């Protein structure tokens, strides 16, 4: 199957003076995998209020090359680095948990980090969430709310779990993913608002999903263009 090709349309950019810059040959890797039972696949949208939100994987101070730095006009910082051992440990455990019906929804924390992933999970069903950054599994040297919200450390997943399956979910990860960090960092809400509590206990973000979605949709044409 022909599963790629669109990236060739965006292989140029502009420098600070507006001059076109051609991008040299770029390695493109595609992967496909069979899904034996599509009924067990989970989507990224929140399924309802009152469910627990767990982060799988550790956040490091890795804002280098991030979407946040691009939007803020910043440069520098550490670029994301993969820890293969903990990554495969967490992915295998999550896959097994999904097969057991322990996960309602899941979303990777990639471009835009935790803030963007949580917002995108709330857009479709219009369920909000409460997040506590102090509970995020992280490098203990991180004292910045913006780092926890927007770092793009790889191999992290935000998963939604129903209250009645929380105990089974935690027992499963305790046995199956000994090298992967798993922490409860919040819960879903009926109120369509993304609210985040920072490291000092104060509210650092509280925005209606409607306004976040409008900003998200408006940004897409600018990014594509």
Residue pLDDT, tens place only, 26-62: 677 777 888 888 888 999 999 999 999 999 999 999 9
Q: Which of 131, 130, 128, 132 has its CA nearest to residue 191?
A: 128
Q: Strands 128-132 and 193-197, how do they pair?
A: parallel
Q: What pLDDT shows up at residue 169? A: 97
Across the range 99-119, mean pLDDT stands at: 96
Compute the distance between CA of residue 152 and CA of residue 171 in angstroms, rounded to an integer.
28
Comparing 20 with 79, the larger pLDDT belongs to: 79
Q: Write out the two tokens for 138.
A: 């992280």
Q: Determine phi and psi for 53, rounding to 5 degrees.
A: -115, 125
Comparing 10 with 183, the larger pLDDT belongs to: 183
Sign of CA dihedral 175, 32, 26, 8: negative
Rg of the chain taking only CA atoms, in angstroms: 18
Provide the 3-class DSSP secondary structure of residue 183.
strand
Q: What pLDDT shows up at residue 223? A: 41
- At residue 225 the predicted structure's pLDDT band, cuts being 50, 70 and 90, is very low
Residues in CB range of 70: below 8 A, 6 or more apart: none
pTM: 0.86
pLDDT at 4 over 70: no
Residue pLDDT, tens place only, 137-172: 999 999 999 999 999 999 999 999 999 999 999 999
Angle between helices 113-123 and 209-224 (to 10 degrees): 110
Q: Which of 139, 41, 149, 140 has its CA nearest to residue 98?
A: 41
Compute the distance between CA of residue 85 and CA of residue 95 in angstroms, rounded to an integer.
16
Contact 42, 103 (CB under 8 A): yes
- At residue 8 the predicted structure's pLDDT band, cuts being 50, 70 and 90, is low
Weakest-pLDDT range from 153-162, 188-197, 208-217:
208-217
Q: Determine phi and psi for 185, rounding to 5 degrees.
A: -115, 0
CB atoms under 10 Å from CB of 50, counted, come to 11
Q: Write out the two tokens for 137.
A: 């599994």
Q: What pLDDT shows up at residue 219? A: 67
């Amino acid at each position: 199957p022909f599963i790629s090709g669109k990236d060739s349309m965006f292989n140029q950019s502009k420098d600070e003076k507006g001059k076109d810059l051609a991008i040299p040959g770029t390695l493109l890797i595609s992967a496909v995998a069979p899904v034996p039972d599509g009924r067990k696949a989970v989507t990224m949208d929140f399924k309802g209020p009152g469910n627990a939100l767990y982060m799988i994987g550790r956040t490091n101070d890795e804002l280098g090359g991030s979407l946040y730095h691009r939007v803020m006009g910043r440069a520098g910082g550490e670029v994301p680095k993969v820890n293969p051992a903990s990554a495969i440990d967490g992915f295998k455990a999550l896959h097994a948990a999904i097969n057991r019906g322990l996960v309602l929804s899941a979303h990777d924390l990639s471009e835009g980090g935790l803030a963007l992933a949580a917002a995108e999970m709330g857009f479709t069903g219009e369920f909000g969430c409460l997040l506590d950054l102090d509970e995020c599994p992280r490098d203990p040297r991180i004292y910045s709310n913006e780092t926890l919200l927007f770092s793009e450390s790889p191999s992290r997943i935000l998963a939604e779990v129903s209250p009645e399956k929380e105990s089974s979910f935690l027992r499963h990860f305790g046995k199956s993913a000994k090298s992967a960090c798993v922490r409860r960092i919040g819960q879903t809400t009926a109120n369509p608002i993304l609210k985040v509590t920072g490291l000092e206990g104060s509210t650092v973000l509280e925005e209606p999903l409607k306004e976040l979605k409008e900003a998200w949709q408006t940004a897409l044409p600018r990014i594509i263009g």
